[in-house]
Structure 1
Amino acid sequence: MDEKTVLATFDREMRQDVRPDGPGARVERVGGVVRQVGAEGHGWSAVLWSDLTEETADRAIAEQVEYFASLGREFEWKHYAHDRPGDLGERLSAAGLTPEPPESLMVAEVGELSTDAALPDGIELRAVTDEAGVDLMADVHERVFGTDATRLRRAVMDRLAEDPDTIAALVAMDGDEPVCSARIEFNPGTQFAGLWGGGTLPRWRGKGIYRALIARRAQIAAARGYRYLQVDASDDSAPILRRLGFARLSVTTPYVYQP
């Protein structure tokens, strides 16, 4: 994989030419910034791309803060290490945005990944197709990450109801207990499918469940003709992904503004 070329393709397809990530969201292009305004009440709002210089950056940041503040919206400036100017992160902090833990942008070619991964005895994968399945997925998310999954639950339900071809979610079950969950989101018109939300309950880690969910999602992506899988990987998942054949192309840091 030509990492420089793939990163440029990712920037163009997934950031510059991005489409709304679900029902009710809209993408706006204003000057050197591409932003998403999420669905009312639960959608994710963010600046996804910027083409700025040292001369234009501070004004563009102030304009986005003013815009989202006028809507009463929290938003995230999704900053990548290769974005310009080189001190963009410092400028975002100076403007009142708070950096959250950085994640590795990792990409793999679907055709190069092994999809042969066995689940432990007694564990089965269940497709999420209805409200009951979404509740199982959200339960794992809250227990693993310690965050409220209300917004996630509503967003997934919206997509399953209105745009089901753009998402597939899975839950690993130990009998009636969900122990791991993850989803894959498809971006029509691009070469990339995104892996999101992968998390395993502590006592089930190290048994190959997370890897099995990656393999299953790679199979789904291949069947739909996607060339690449993309992950914003935490420090916990990055080593697993690297062993499976993913390459780190950049580092992304969410800078969050609270109105």
Structure 2
Amino acid sequence: MSTAALYLRAYDQQLRTDAETPSAIAVRTLGPLRLVTFPGGRGFVTYRDLAGADEPRVRDLVASALDHYREDPSVTRIEWKTRGHDHAPGLHDALVEAGFAPQETESIMVGPLQALAADTPPPPGVTLRTLQEEREVRAMSAMADIGFGEDPDPARADVLLARLARADGMELWVAELEGRMVSAGRLEPVPGTEFAGIWGGVTLPEYRGRGIYRALTAARARSALAAGKTLVHSDSTEYSRPILERQGLVKVSTTTPYEWRC
């Protein structure tokens, strides 16, 4: 079995379980689906596989999942997380016809944490640190939204603050230059697995290409190794994928979120 296949098997077996949604406030199973509700009115649909469902069964699952969330008036948006290696006949058409819109496809990257943890000093003048204080978390979240080309959304900061309050192991990292936050990312050790997740990595456009993201990634990897993790996973944009590949991670599949809003 190839290295990529071994990593993909570990990803499917260890991460596509409750470990995928540590901050959920409610989880219901519907056949092979896990229907998750997060704080802030966000629904999330995931699964290890679709249990061999044919196209009519896939359509039934989409409709039943949407009915479930429509019964909860607090849920205003839903993400259905698809993976490119799943057997899911007719899923794209069923989701689109139900009102879901496909978002940007990202690469699922998996590899050894040690490969990311090399002593990679930040560029001159750049400092790396973790955050805990509400004011700084909100500033980091707003900067990340801008880096991703979106309007700052205070609700995203609310979710991060709620997770910090639960002390579930998540760490928020930033890179600063001359007192300005210019890059950020999360580290999420996954309890009961070999994995830590590196998420939300973003650098403001005018600061890209300087090695800041790479240094921030290395700092997060060293922190995860200190917590006893050995593997890392990340859903990566086309900006971060080549950086992670150069550092030893392997693209094992793709993921495309489909979003529904009321």
Deviation per residue, 1:186-212 (Å, 9 max, x gap) = 221122211111111122111100000
User: How far apart, in 1, do the equivalents of 2:242 and 2:132 lie?
Assistant: 30
User: How far apart, in 1, do the equivalents of 2:120 and 2:127 lie?
Assistant: 13
Q: Give how far 1:19 is off.
A: 5.6
Q: Give how far 1:134 is off.
A: 0.3
Q: Which residues of 2 match residues 122-201 of structure 1 at below 5 A?
A: 122-147=125-150, 148-163=152-167, 165-201=168-204
Name 1:7's counterpart in structure 2: 8
User: How far apart, in 1, do the equivalents of 2:105 and 2:36 lie?
Assistant: 20
SS in 1 for 2:16: helix
Are the equivalent residues in 1 in contact too, given 2:130–2:173 (CA < 8 A)?
Answer: yes
User: How far apart, in 1, do the equivalents of 2:20 and 2:184 lie?
Assistant: 25
Unaligned residue ranges in structure 1 (runs of 5+): none
User: How far apart, in 1, do the equivalents of 2:201 and 2:132 lie?
Assistant: 17
The verdict on how the C-alpha distance between 1:139 and 1:85 changes in structure 2, with shifts beyond 3 A counting, is closer
Q: Give how far 1:79 is off.
A: 0.4
Q: Residue type matched to 1:45 in 2?
A: G
User: How far apart, in 1, do the equivalents of 2:25 and 2:20 lie?
Assistant: 9
Deviation per residue, 1:31-66 (Å, 9 max, x gap) = 121121112xx2542111142411421111100011
Percentage identity across paired residues of the two chains: 32
User: How far apart, in 2, do the equivalents of 1:141 and 1:29 lie?
Assistant: 33
Are the equivalent residues in 2 in contact too, given 1:168–1:183 (CA < 8 A)?
Answer: yes
Name 2:27's counterpart in structure 1: 27
Q: Residue type matched to 2:50 in 1?
A: D
Q: Which residues of 2 match residues 67-86 of structure 1 at below 5 A?
A: 67-72=68-73, 73=75, 74-86=77-89
Choose which of 220, 223, 229 in structure 2 pairs with 1:220: 223
Q: Normalized against structure 2, the TM-score is what?
A: 0.90
Are the equivalent residues in 2 in contact too, given 1:15–1:34 (CA < 8 A)?
Answer: no
Q: Give how far 1:20 is off.
A: 3.6
Unaligned residue ranges in structure 2 (runs of 5+): none
SS in 2 for 1:18: helix
User: How far apart, in 2, do the equivalents of 1:63 and 1:161 lie?
Assistant: 33
SS in 1 for 2:95: helix
Are the equivalent residues in 1 in contact too, given 2:58–2:90 (CA < 8 A)?
Answer: no
Q: Normalized against structure 1, the TM-score is what?
A: 0.91
Q: Give how far 1:17 is off.
A: 4.0
Q: Residue type matched to 1:112 in 2?
A: A
Q: Which residues of 2 match residues 21-60 of structure 1 at below 5 A?
A: 21-22=22-23, 25-39=25-39, 42=40, 44-49=42-47, 50-52=49-51, 53-54=53-54, 55-60=56-61
Q: Residue type matched to 1:178 in 2?
A: M
User: How far apart, in 2, do the equivalents of 1:20 and 1:243 lie?
Assistant: 29
Runs of 4+ in 1 over 6 A off after TM superposition: none
Deviation per residue, 1:78-113 (Å, 9 max, x gap) = 000111224322322222211011111111111333
